[in-house]
A = this chain, B = another copy of it.
Amino acid sequence: GGQHRIAVIAGDGIGQEVVPEGLRALEMAAKRFDIDLAFTEFDWGCGHYERHGRMMPEDGIDRLASFDAIFLGAVGWPTVPDHVSLWGLLIPIRRRFEQYVNLRPVRLFEGVPCPLAGKKPGDIDFLIVRENVEGEYSEIGGRLYAGTEREMAVQESIFTRFGVDRILRYAFELARSRPKRHLTSATKSNGIIHTMPFWDERVKAMATAYPDVRLDQYHIDILTAHFVRCPERFDVVVGSNLFGDILSDLGPAVTGTIGIAPSANLNPERRWPSMFEPVHGSAPDIAGQGIANPIGQIWSGAMLLDHLGYPEAGAAIVAAIERILKSGRVLTRDMGGSASTEEQGKAIAAEI
């Protein structure tokens, strides 16, 4: 109960086009389930960078801290180097608000053409649990002999027992809560010899507390092959920041389009706001045409409601997505149709 304050950052490119559809669905669900949501929009992103030399104001993080959740579109535009834009907005939010879980569902819906031969809706339905604040994404590193023939760049990956254990615990608990009770862990211990064997050790240590969870461990290279060859085998998949990132684009591609994939950047302790955003980026190649798929954004809204304590409202949004896709009436171009972003969004909102 009570009012929930949501910070909205549409961001760049198609973020501007899909966020309004996400809000449309959220408002519809709020009305139907009598939830009090108050939205505050922030015009941060690459436009803000061009005007002010920063992706968000200096006190941006502080201003977000009192919200109950953040609803984000996409960040990045060709006018600003990607490492500058992302590390100026998206990544600081994940870190400062200890959103150490990035939860990304992967599901094959009826009505969405699947690139794999012979797969049926229901065959593919798993969750990726991505470590979201440490690991390979690290500010530590730099250059030696910059600008000369001897130039080199070094990059540190850092995995802490604290950081690895908390994401593994989340993943084991999640696996335990599902009917299949199956967890797959991704590493690359034969190649990346300091951090990855450490992750494997922590998996082994934690597994003793979850004898009821069936555990598989794969190297990331062969795991990407299994995603294509037998995606139906997976239930909960846990990986580092980088491996989770890769698997959560590959998984949705296998189900037809990354345009529908949502994500929840969670601070499970609820000390800070969590953030909900589609898996896709700002897509400069199609931005401004009104053809982007808004479903990743809308489904992220469903995860937001879930997190705020309204699982029925979240489920109603997902059910509406499911029915609209199944009907085949309204599909954006990436799903083989010709609907606009707005048509797709309105059809789903009406169905809620």
**Contacting residues, chain B, for A52 (C-beta < 8 A):** none
Q: Interface readout for A219-255 with B: 1 if CB under 8 Å, 0 if not?
A: 1111011101100000000000110011011101110
Q: How far is A153 from B194 in the complex, measured between Cα atoms in Å?
A: 6
For chain A, residues 167 to 197, give those with C-beta under 8 angstroms from any C-beta of chain B: 188-197
List residues of chain B with CB within 8 A of the CB of A152: 158-161
Residue of B nearest to A118 (CB): B117
- In the complex, which residues 85-139 of chain A have their Cβ closer than 8 Å to any Cβ of chain B? 85-87, 91, 114-118, 136-137, 139
In Å, the complex CA distance between A249 and B190 comes to 15
Count of chain copies: 2
B190 touches A76 (CB 8 A): yes
Q: Which residues of chain B come closer than 8 Å to A82, judged between CB atoms? A: 189-190, 197, 219
Chain A interface size band reads 35 or more
Q: Which of A141-149, A311-319, A339-347 interfaces with chain B?
A: A141-149
Q: Does A41 contact B (CB under 8 A)?
A: no
A197 and B258 in contact (CB under 8 A), knowing A155-B192, A221-B245, A248-B221? no
User: Would you call A209 an interface residue if the criterion is a C-beta within 8 Å of the partner chain's C-beta atoms?
Assistant: no
B246 and A228: CB pair below 8 A?
no
The answer to whether B246 touches A221, judged by C-beta atoms less than 8 angstroms apart, is yes
Partner of A154, one of B91, B158, B222: B158
Pick the contact of A192 from B137, B151, B192, B197 — CB < 8 Å? B137
A198 within 8 A of B: yes
Residue contact B253 to A229, C-beta cutoff 8 Å: yes
Residues on A lying within 8 angstroms of B by beta carbon are 76, 81-83, 85-87, 91, 114-118, 136-137, 139, 141-143, 148-162, 188-198, 219-222, 224-226, 228-229, 241-242, 245-246, 248-250, 252-254, 258, 281
